[in-house]
């Protein structure tokens, strides 16, 4: 399934691959890679609230700021909330970024191998094979509590709204 008219990059329209995920939907599972090349799925975090920060690439200023903001938040919430950052960045780049930026609470995950997350959550950008900037909050019950795809990929998401949904 392809969707147009949802996101732009520097004003240029792009095509998203996958379904539209909305609050109330059952959260789709996915398989991504952690920084040690191990597979991670949504099921690995069952029973916890999962904040999924989606970024095009951590090597850009807005993505950097987004991950830092959620990492900071992750240090202040209880163990029943986990913060993930999913991008197409390679696990090696994610690991390097985390060590340099001091990211120690949010988990950086790579969708580069299969685009499993991008396809499942409808944020895979067809033209760029990157993920559109988005935030999803999945409740302990496995239902999506909040879904935001940022219309212009170079803009920030609504952090406050996402965090309110996670609490």
Taking alpha carbons only, the member of 90, 167, 164, 93 closest to residue 129 is 90
Supply 61's token pair: 């200023």
Angstrom distance (rounded) from CA 134 to CA 38: 24
User: Which of 151, 154, 143 is closest to 56 using CA atoms?
Assistant: 154
Backbone angles phi, psi at 60, to 5 degrees: -125, 150
**Distance, CA of 156 to CA of 158 (rounded, Å):** 7
Q: Which of 21, 27, 63, 74 is catalytic?
A: 63
Whether 98 is a known active-site residue: answer no
- Tokens describing residue 152: 């212009």
Catalytic residue numbers, as ranges:
63
């Amino acid at each position: 399934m392809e969707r147009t008219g949802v996101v732009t990059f520097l004003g240029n329209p792009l095509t998203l691959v996958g379904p539209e995920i909305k609050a109330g939907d059952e959260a789709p599972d996915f398989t991504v890679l952690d920084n040690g090349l191990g597979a991670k799925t949504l099921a690995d975090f069952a029973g916890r609230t999962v904040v999924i920060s989606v970024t095009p690439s951590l090597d850009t200023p807005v993505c950097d700021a987004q991950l830092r903001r959620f990492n900071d938040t992750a240090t202040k919430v209880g163990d029943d909330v986990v913060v993930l950052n999913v991008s197409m960045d390679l696990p090696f780049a994610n690991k390097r970024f985390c060590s340099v930026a001091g990211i120690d609470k949010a988990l950086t995950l790579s969708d580069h191998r299969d685009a499993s997350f991008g396809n499942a959550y409808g944020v895979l950008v067809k033209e760029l094979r990157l993920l559109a900037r988005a935030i999803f909050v999945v409740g302990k019950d496995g239902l999506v509590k909040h879904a935001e795809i940022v219309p212009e990929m170079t803009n920030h998401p609504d952090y406050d709204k996402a965090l309110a949904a996670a609490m």
